[in-house]
Structure 1
Amino acid sequence: MSARPSRPAGFWPLAMVFGLFVLFMYGPMLVIFMLSLQGPEGGLTFPMRGLSLHWFYQLAEGLGVVDIAAALWRSLALGAVVMLCTVLLSVLAGLAFRKRLAGGAVLLFIAVASLIMPSIIVSLGIGLEFRLIDSGIQSALQWLGMESARQNYGTALGLFSSALGAHLTWTLPFGLLIMFAVFNRFNPAYEEAARDLGATPWQGFAHVVLPLIAPSVVGIAMFGFTLSWDEIARTSQAIGEVNTLPLELQGLTSTVTTPAIYALGTLTTVVSLLVMGITLALVWLLERRRKARTRASR
């Protein structure tokens, strides 16, 4: 029986550094989760006082004038739309960039440029842009003599207009980079075989290309939702009169002095973990289905 190989000299120091890194990354999440489970007498710091779901029940009843349920549904709806737009645009761009495009490099640099700009500057720019649109619409209504419509006009800033655009400046570059990497390694022989068998371009995409890139598409969907779900800086100046859940959470940190704020943080974290769990399950199912088809074809 062969002896177990000894650890190299640097293994334990590196393992300790890695352990400290993991603790630094996930320790705050664990602390917030623990403090959210306190009893009615609980405070914002340790030691814990009791163990219950009291603050989650209070969260369901509402925190003062803040409608947590409405903010939650707004964030879920915006995240879902951002996810769909990110997936659709990323896949279409990946397909388009498989061929040499005039000015393609410039388009790529423009698409990913928002990653290097400060998020708050992007948000301010989008907010100013939509306020200029508001001014233009009001001027046009006044010039057309539609005074009643001008007075009743609100703003173009909104959840699925300016906020959607702001979030796409954050999620779309990641989707594009992932899809470009996927198609860079994609073997076109599969599509050629489908065409030789009489498949139309759409059939080739639906039955050959899409099943092969499906795990990456699911990953882009997860990126799109989770990045939108907890985004604050790009939303703050571009959302208009309503708030998403992260913005409400940020505002409550200065007014709520009970563990209810921790319960809200735990809720948002659970939603993110749930989305990642569903994503991993879908990727596993797709990979298992692909392997089953491969075995059946042999």
Structure 2
Amino acid sequence: MEPRPRSFYILAAVFGLFLLFLYGPTITIAILSFQGPEGGLTFPMRGVSLHWFRDLFQEQAVGDIWGAFGRSLLLGLLVMVTTVTVSVMGGLAFRKRFAGSALLFQLVVASLVIPSILVSLGVGLIFSQAGLPVHWASSGFGAQLTWTLPFGLLIMFAVFNRFNPAYEEAARDQGASAWQTIRHVVLPIIAPSLIGVALFGFTLSYDEFARTLLTAGSYNTLPLEIYGMTTNVTTPVIFALGTLTTVFSFAVIGVFLVTVWVLGRRRARAGSDAGKGV
């Protein structure tokens, strides 16, 4: 085996430093969340315990943690479902050119480069001027879609760009209607990509701050609640909250990855069974 060049070790060290920079703050928060009852917000640690995790489930003098978590969870699910649905519809529509398709595509992508705080301000003003309530489930929902939909559409554009239309033609030759072709042929084939879009939609919504800041109204989502608590909470309970939300995020990602793996196994098994039948 040939020895690795020096450049390999240099690049590996740079990559390691990048990972440390990326995950170092999260690891620090996780460590500090396990302090003892007399612990503070900085090192050195004062004991080791689960005290602050237990305290997190008690009624807090400052902040509505679990109410904010419920709102973020519900909003994330709404954004996820909407993002998947609209992205699939948009991907199907853009398979053929139509009048204004180029302009529409540019408008969709433009929302990614517009500063998030300006989007938040604009959506909040529109709802306010129209006499509509500024609420996390209405204006906040709309503002977050300007962030998640472009990602979902771009993924679907890439998926359908590689999609083999022969599968649809075969289904139509067998007498399937347009809806039956989409339901029984197209959607099962692109299912792993749909899970990816769903994951993007949920996670981007769950931790979105800037676009929700001026559109959530009187009730905070979890990121806004945590931000508000940083000016009032002076105990490691906020670190415990950060650790739990991080674990929750990784758990969601894990569930989606397992789902993709199961779908892949089922597809492989179905292909194997079909081959044996032939």
Given the two structures, how large is their TM-score scaled by the length of structure 1? 0.90
1:84 shift after superposition: 0.4
Q: 2:195 aligned with 1:211, yes or no?
A: no
- Equivalent residue of 2:224, what SS? helix
Return the alpha-carbon distance in structure 2 between the equivalents of residues 296 and 203 of structure 1: 23
Structure 2 residues not aligned, in runs of 5+: none
Return the alpha-carbon distance in structure 1 between the equivalents of residues 232 and 58 of structure 2: 17
Return the alpha-carbon distance in structure 1 between the equivalents of residues 245 and 60 of structure 2: 16
Larger radius of gyration: 1
Q: 2:200 aligned with 1:223, yes or no?
A: yes
Show the counterpart of 2:92. Answer: 95
1:282 shift after superposition: 0.8
Return the alpha-carbon distance in structure 2 between the equivalents of residues 268 and 173 of structure 1: 25
Deviations 1:197-228 (A, max 9, x none): 12121221111111110001000000001000
Return the alpha-carbon distance in structure 2 between the equivalents of residues 293 and 184 of structure 1: 25
Show the counterpart of 2:247. Answer: 270
Q: Which residue type is aligned with residue 274 of structure 1?
A: A
Decide whether the 8 Å contact of 1:62 with 1:68 is kept in 2: no
In the alignment of these two chains, the number of paired residues is 275
Deviations 1:223-273 (A, max 9, x none): 001000111110010111110010010011111111011011112111211
Q: Which residue type is aligned with residue 151 of structure 2?
A: F
Residue correspondence of structure 1 range 102-113 to structure 2 within 5 A = 102-113=99-110
Q: 2:19 aligned with 1:22, yes or no?
A: yes
Residue correspondence of structure 1 range 131-280 to structure 2 within 5 A = 131-134=128-131, 155-280=132-257
Q: Which residue type is aligned with residue 58 of structure 2?
A: E
Return the alpha-carbon distance in structure 2 between the equivalents of residues 267 and 225 of structure 1: 17
Show the counterpart of 2:35. Answer: 38
Decide whether the 8 Å contact of 2:34 with 2:50 is kept in 1: yes
Q: Bigger shift: 199-208 or 20-29?
A: 199-208
Deviations 1:20-44 (A, max 9, x none): 1111111111111111111101111
Structure 1 residues not aligned, in runs of 5+: 135-154
Q: Which residue type is aligned with residue 185 of structure 1?
A: R
Show the counterpart of 1:295. Answer: 272
Return the alpha-carbon distance in structure 2 between the equivalents of residues 107 and 81 of structure 1: 24
Return the alpha-carbon distance in structure 2 between the equivalents of residues 5 and 87 of structure 1: 48
Show the counterpart of 2:66. Answer: 69
Pick aligned residue for 1:128 from 114, 122, 125: 125
Return the alpha-carbon distance in structure 1 between the equivalents of residues 193 and 64 of structure 2: 36
Decide whether the 8 Å contact of 2:36 with 2:48 is kept in 1: yes
Structure 1 runs (4+) deviating above 3 angstroms are none
Q: Which residue type is aligned with residue 226 of structure 1?
A: T
1:129 shift after superposition: 0.6
Return the alpha-carbon distance in structure 1 between the equivalents of residues 95 and 272 of structure 2: 30
Decide whether the 8 Å contact of 2:136 with 2:212 is kept in 1: no
1:120 shift after superposition: 0.4
1:167 shift after superposition: 0.3
Decide whether the 8 Å contact of 1:249 with 1:261 is kept in 2: yes
Given the two structures, how large is their TM-score scaled by the length of structure 2? 0.97
Question: What fraction of aligned residue pairs are identical, expressed as a percent?
Answer: 61
RMSD: 1.0
Return the alpha-carbon distance in structure 2 between the equivalents of residues 128 and 264 of structure 1: 32
Return the alpha-carbon distance in structure 2 between the equivalents of residues 225 and 218 of structure 1: 10
Deviations 1:121-178 (A, max 9, x none): 10001111111011xxxxxxxxxxxxxxxxxxxx521122100000000000000000
Pick aligned residue for 2:47 from 47, 50, 69: 50
